[in-house]
Amino acid sequence: MERLLHLRTLPVIGTLGPEDLGLVAEQARTRVFETGDRLLRQGEPIAAVHIVVEGRVHLQRGDQVLGHATPGAGVGGLGYLARDPNGIDAVAETDVVALELDGDMLDEILEDRFRVLQHVLRETSRGLIDLWHEAPRECLAAQVPMRAPGFKSPLDLVQRMLFLREGLPFIRASASALADLSRGLVELRFEPGTVLFRRGEPGRQVQMLVEGRVACSSPIEGFGLQPGPGYPLGGLEAVAGVPRWYDAVCETPVVALSGNAEILFDLFEDNSDVALAYLAQIARVQLDALERIAAAGRESSLLPFFGGNLEA
């Protein structure tokens, strides 16, 4: 019960339902670190997430001090989700008591319990949207470049499958999974000036851009996004289950493969490796943006990388 109560303080994991959170709590183990002990080492993949119960942990990446984790922080959380090969240095500044969640155990839960994976996908996507609102310039700089697929409309089934495979989340998808996804998408054409969606509208549809460019605008200072071919426009809101938070208007003639969130989640449920790759991509953008914020000498009030309390 004590382990469960500590986990309940974390974003993402802490908002799981009682049964699923109880499963995670059963697998957590108590670790004690003396002053100077290393919880995580830079240059090594993050093999476990540590939830600080008592004490203070110094966090650093290269020459950049990221902060100090205090009780309630989940050290290494976002780096684990991002499959970050570089890791961070996490050193106990005082004697530390922590709950350790083994990465292999977390992977097993995510692969075997889709509702847990879906929950983590949704909450991590919401965390990235919150970060976009707080630090749009850093999020924009952290975007993963998309490679234009080079196909011209209309696309046949095979071209759709090849087009989708160019996207990072779908590289590992099987041919049958891509075929099912391709059949569920509708190819649409839009003229310049067409409004694809407005702020506040439901965010259920995803537009996989095949041709053209879209201008996205928001009252958020510093926000600027002009997605082109290969970009999954609206995918973040669809997975997060939240309304649109920016306007999207066609800047040129646009061709897109359109589908709803249910199609995407059907693919994820049948292909956990694809879902985990999608989750890693979202987490990498957050990780990069948070590091850019720290490098600028600022502190984000949103700390999904650590999952809880962080002191500068």
Euclidean distance between CA atoms 310 and 289, whole angstroms: 16
| DSSP letter, residue 277 | H
Domain ranges of the chain: 2-112, 120-287
CATH code of the domain made up of 2-112: 2.60.120.10
C-alpha to C-alpha distance for 237 and 245, rounded to whole angstroms = 8
The pTM assigned to this predicted structure is 0.88
What is the distance between the alpha carbons of residues 103 and 109, in angstroms, rounded to a whole number? 10
Q: Distance (Å, rounded) from C-alpha 43 to C-alpha 295? A: 19
CA distance 260 to 264: 7
Report the b/e string of 220-230 with b at 16+ CB within 10 A. Answer: eeebebebbbb
The yes or no reply on domain 120-287 and CATH 2.60.120.10 is yes
- The answer to whether domain 2-112 and domain 120-287 are alike in fold is yes
Three-state SS for 283?
helix
CB 187 within 8 A of CB 255: yes
User: Average pLDDT of the chain?
Assistant: 88
Chain segment 54-86, per-residue pLDDT in tens: 999 998 887 778 778 888 888 988 889 999 888
% residues pLDDT > 90 (the chain): 49
Q: Alpha-carbon distance 267 to 236, whole Å? A: 16
Instruction: Determine the pLDDT at residue 273.
Output: 86
- pLDDT (tens digit, 9 = 90+) per residue, 118-163? 999 999 999 999 999 999 999 999 887 776 667 777 899 999 998 8
Give the C-alpha separation, 125 to 135, whole Å. Answer: 15
Q: pLDDT digits over 151-210, tens only? A: 777 899 999 998 888 776 787 788 888 898 899 999 999 999 999 999 999 999 999 999
What is the per-residue pLDDT across 212-232, written as a single tens digit (0 to 9) for each? 999 999 999 889 889 988 889
